[in-house]
Amino acid sequence: MSFRLDSVVPWGRNAEEYRLMFCPGDRELSGRIADFGGGPSSFNAEFNSHFSRAGSTVVSFDPLYSFSAEKIRQRIEEVRPIVMKQTRQNRDKYIWKNIPDPDALERQRLSAMEMFLSDFEKGRSEGRYIPHSLPERIPFEDNAFDLGLSSHFLLMYTSLGYDFHIRSVEEMLRVCREVRIFPIVDLSGEGDPMISDVIEYFKKKYTVHIMDTEYEFQKGGKKLLIIDHAPAERV
Ligand SMILES: C[S@@+](CC[C@H](N)C(=O)[O-])C[C@H]1O[C@@H](n2cnc3c(N)ncnc32)[C@H](O)[C@@H]1O
């Protein structure tokens, strides 16, 4: 399926935000991590240059990665004033604590995306950025990754629908032993029957946990969904 650059709003978070959202422990950080809908986040770039350990890897997947760094940079510049205008208009939907105000948010996002852009062409040639659209087949064998992540993509875009989500998460669970999705609210920070239905579907087949995190920027959006192949152990 063709993917149009003008249909996407590239806007990326940094590795510290990923740490707060996904709460990885030593076991997860030492493993093979897949970031789905990774977009222009600097998680992969920062992990690769600062945090990787022997045997650990991050591979990011996104349809955006079929474009050049220059084209992605142009698109970021196009959407930047629009995103910032919307953020200021909806200021009361966010918690301005770790990020004190919209100007600081803009600086943090642009700095993360700059790290991504500087790393992207090299990382793509090393196989760390792979053009891929969920729910299409992921070009890896079963259980290739220990952990699969989705930040601000799955569950959030409820208009993609129930079937899209079931097929996407099932395909992620084919290649990942565990999947973590953050947040569990829609774009306006609300719950949605579609989100509850998707979670109920996976509860019937896998071990599912929902936990509070320290990351709360969108009001109401601090919960992390964990779907695990392993039998339930946590309490
Ligand atoms: C809001 S961004 C989140 C980026 C990053 N995860 C973060 O939190 O900073 C959502 C991303 O989902 C990607 N996306 C859109 N459709 C997708 C699909 N079908 N499969 C995988 N990723 C998709 C977009 O290209 C975009 O980069």
Which numbered atom of ligand 1 lies nearest the CA of 153?
Answer: 10
- Measured in Å, residue 235 CA sits from the centre of ligand 1 at 32
Atom of ligand 1 at shortest range from CA of 43: 9
With a 6 A CB cut-off, is 60 part of the ligand 1 pocket?
no
Note the pTM of the prediction, 2 decimals: 0.95
The CB of 153 under 6 Å from ligand 1? The reply is yes
Domain ranges within the chain, ordered by starting residue: 5-228
Q: At how many degrees (to 10) do helices 69-89 and 102-125 cross?
A: 160
Counting atoms of ligand 1 from 1, which one is nearest the CA of 112? Answer: 9
At the topology level of CATH, where does 5-228 sit?
Answer: Rossmann fold (3.40.50)
Predicted confidence (pLDDT) per residue in 92-151, tens digit: 999 999 899 999 999 999 999 999 999 999 999 999 999 999 999 999 999 999 999 999
Strand order in the sheet with 176-182: 129-130, 57-61, 32-36, 145-151, 176-182, 223-228, 207-212
Mutate to test the pocket of ligand 1, among 111, 153, 160, 166 (most ligand atoms within 8 A of CB): 153
pLDDT of 158-191, one tens digit each?
Answer: 999 999 999 999 999 999 999 999 999 998 888 8
pLDDT tens digits for range 29-71:
889 999 999 999 999 999 998 876 667 899 999 999 999 999 9
From CA 97, how far away is CA 110, in angstroms rounded?
19
